[in-house]
Structure 1
Amino acid sequence: MDISEIIIAGDTAGIEWRLPVFRFKGKTPGGPKAYIQAALHANELPGTAAAHFLLPMLSEAENNGAILGDITVVPQANPIGTAQSHFGELQGRFDLGSRTNFNRDFPLIALGERDSLLSDLDRHSATDRLKRQLLHMALGAELMLDLHCDDEALQYAYIDEAFWPEAADLAAALDMEAVFLSDGESSAFEEAVAYAWKYETAGQKKTSLPGRLSVTVELRGTRDVYPDMARKDAEGLLRFLVARGVVAGDKAAVPAFGGIVAPLDNIEMIRAPESGAILFHRDIGDKVKAGDLLVTILNRPGQPDGAIEVRAPQDGLIVTRVSTRHARRRSDLMKIACATASSAARKPGPLEA
């Protein structure tokens, strides 16, 4: 295992950020290469915990001569976000300097332009230099796993339709309960990687990318950072690497995926009709029917008409809900995966900002 650091100079004097990178050299020429990163949203730490347990497993595999393809692991991909604290609370999702989501605005380039990401880096801000370094590393692999988590959530993933159903092995290896099929219409990290592969040939868009995978993995919720969970996630990641031939082992160990598969148009985004205290009647993992009571919003507590009921628009599985117990008007409350499309209009791209 080789451990190095990428140093990113800050945008003010006397500051620099250090990005640890762990690399394993594969012994099979032409073997599939994997890139795994965690905590791009710096406050989403289940992936960091999983990487902590995965790295010793990979070291053991390396000692046994079982690393077939190159593997790069970045356990904490966002040192800039990790340092952002506001009144004692970590602010890891948005760059406080630019107000930009750390998982948006990645350069959309063709694969052949990969080296241009590192050209004249000094003309970019620290955050953009970080993004370019991460994307450059990821585009050196065929398999890219970006480990995130939701607020309160089941284990699920956003997977571009171009990788499905081949990516069912990842969903099964990590024991996911749902897969959201994305449309590849944003500048998030996983979609920037996929974009480079889709437009590898100028003027031609590939709609299927066999042997490749770029995915956002949602490792449950922000508070689900426990040793047993992290170890289980690491074991799942290793099973996937074995299944794809990156690490030698028993490929039959990955079962069939039996969870829900839903296009983004089939995700019901349950939002608060008014502001107020949130009373949840249903939890993640619950299967609901159309009309079931999901949430009560106390917008005028104590008054006869001070509570608003929010009901399920159709049958589905509650995959996520928010951990806060106060809502602003139109703020997100839940995501429900359904068998049919939502009647609510959705723009192409991500479900959330």
Structure 2
Amino acid sequence: MNRQSIPLLSPAIGTHRELVSFHFGPADSGQKIYIQASLHADETPSMLTTVLLKRRLLELEQAGALNAEIVLVPVSNPVGLSQYVLGQFVGRFDLGSGKNFNRHFVQFTKLVADAKEALGADANENRRIVRALLAAELAQQKPMTEFDSLQLALLKLSYDADIVIDLHCSLEAAMHVYTSEAAWAEFEPLSRYLGAEASLLATDSGGGAFDETHSLLWWTLQQQFPASKPVPTGTIAVTVECRGQRDVSYEVAQQDADALVDYLVWRGAIRGEARPLPPLLSPATPLAGSEQFYAPVSGILVHRAKIGDTIRVGQPLFDIVDPLTDETTTIVSQTEGVLYMRRAIRFVTAGAPLGRVTGTRPIRTGVLLGA
């Protein structure tokens, strides 16, 4: 194991933060796996999973069982971890700018134009050329803030990975994953091993999130270039939501770490016999098919369904009780699917998001991610 540290741009005199990564396996293997956790800082379940995964990877490395380079970043947002305000972490947004730490990563639009002149008839050589162009464009980036330097450091660690696994958690949620339609066949086994209760697919969900910054570039190149200039898939990416923020235990984290190892064995990144694939708990559905519920009024929020429940059309999901008038407003589902995430608060203001249910038919367009 090789521990590396990348200093981030200092935001003020007397302050300094760093991004720490752990590198396992042969760097010249021709296969690279990148795994990070807690990009929204206080996503503790995913962080604990990487602690246990790191221990297992060290054992596997010492046993000579790693076929791939594996880069692990357990704390991918040290900036957000410093934002402890009035007894609460504010890890999703940068307090200085209001920016979401997992939005608006570099989209490499210049690279697409440069590739038109550089690519040829050899697919493998084209993969190498695109990665060289990526490295060059990242080297030219000049971060102006600590936020920018963090995003740039993460991309420099991951841009040349074959597989990117971005571990998060929601507020209250079942295990679920996000990936693209093109990558689903490669990540379906991961969904099975993790016991995901929802698998949500979108090629471009909007917002420039970390996972799609990697996968969308290669998909775009494949759409724009003719067969005479073949572009193979360079990177596929998945976001894993490790349930809810309070789902922190050794048992659950070990289960998730074991699932990640099982998946890497299945891929051939780790030597061994792959564990038989468990059943897929729910079929993959379009992210655009998920119904998002909002509070039409303010009041006390009472949940009428449990996380992971299969919901039918017309089923009550939330009650909002006005403590002054005793009036109760009930929100029902218009979609049949799985209630896979909801807010952790129990008093809501008008317009507050409440939760989501999967759906098989696309009903939303535009930016599909929350703020």
SS of the equivalent of 1:251 reads coil
The Cα offsets for residues 14-43 of structure 1, whole Å up to 9 and x where unpaired, read as 21111111001328732x210000011001
Mapped to 2, the partners of 1:125 and 1:135 lie a distance apart of 16
2:69 maps to what in 1? 70
CA displacement at 1:263 relative to structure 2: 0.2
2:202 maps to what in 1? 182
1:350 matched to 2:368: yes
The 5-angstrom pairing of residues 1-353 of structure 1 reads 1-26=1-26, 29-30=29-30, 32-109=31-108, 110=111, 111-112=130-131, 113-116=133-136, 118-119=138-139, 123-186=143-206, 187-200=208-221, 203-204=224-225, 212-298=235-321, 300-303=322-325, 306-342=327-363, 346-353=364-371
RMSD: 2.3
Mapped to 2, the partners of 1:316 and 1:192 lie a distance apart of 28
SS of the equivalent of 2:8 reads strand
Cα distance change of structure 1 residues 211 and 14 upon mapping to structure 2, 3 Å threshold: closer
CA displacement at 1:97 relative to structure 2: 0.7
2:119 maps to what in 1? none
Stretch of structure 1 that moved more, 323-332 or 76-85:
323-332
1:199–1:205 contact (8 Å) kept in structure 2: no
CA displacement at 1:313 relative to structure 2: 1.2
SS of the equivalent of 2:182 reads helix
Stretch of structure 1 that moved more, 51-60 or 111-120:
111-120
The Cα offsets for residues 31-56 of structure 1, whole Å up to 9 and x where unpaired, read as x2100000110011111100000011
Mapped to 2, the partners of 1:302 and 1:134 lie a distance apart of 49
CA displacement at 1:341 relative to structure 2: 3.5
CA displacement at 1:160 relative to structure 2: 1.1
2:36–2:165 contact (8 Å) kept in structure 1: yes
CA displacement at 1:189 relative to structure 2: 0.2
Mapped to 2, the partners of 1:291 and 1:62 lie a distance apart of 52
CA displacement at 1:244 relative to structure 2: 0.9
Mapped to 1, the partners of 2:220 and 2:156 lie a distance apart of 16
SS of the equivalent of 1:119 reads helix
Letter in 1 for 2:43: E
The Cα offsets for residues 111-159 of structure 1, whole Å up to 9 and x where unpaired, read as 4432245435554211111101101211121000000011111100111
Mapped to 2, the partners of 1:211 and 1:13 lie a distance apart of 40
Mapped to 2, the partners of 1:275 and 1:258 lie a distance apart of 35
1:198–1:205 contact (8 Å) kept in structure 2: no
Q: Equivalent pairs: percent with the same residue?
A: 32
Mapped to 2, the partners of 1:162 and 1:250 lie a distance apart of 26
1:40–1:78 contact (8 Å) kept in structure 2: yes
CA displacement at 1:10 relative to structure 2: 1.5
Q: How many residues align?
A: 347
Letter in 2 for 1:329: A
Mapped to 1, the partners of 2:202 and 2:74 lie a distance apart of 25
Mapped to 2, the partners of 1:231 and 1:73 lie a distance apart of 16
Stretch of structure 1 that moved more, 10-19 or 143-152:
10-19
SS of the equivalent of 2:238 reads strand
Determine which structure has the larger helix proportion and give its number: 2
Letter in 2 for 1:115: A
Letter in 2 for 1:175: G
Letter in 1 for 2:244: G
The Cα offsets for residues 190-247 of structure 1, whole Å up to 9 and x where unpaired, read as 0101123224579439999768420111000011111111111100010111111111
Mapped to 2, the partners of 1:212 and 1:123 lie a distance apart of 24
Letter in 2 for 1:73: L
Stretch of structure 1 that moved more, 8-17 or 204-213:
204-213
The Cα offsets for residues 289-341 of structure 1, whole Å up to 9 and x where unpaired, read as 2111111112x32425x221111113221111111001121211111012334
SS of the equivalent of 1:162 reads coil
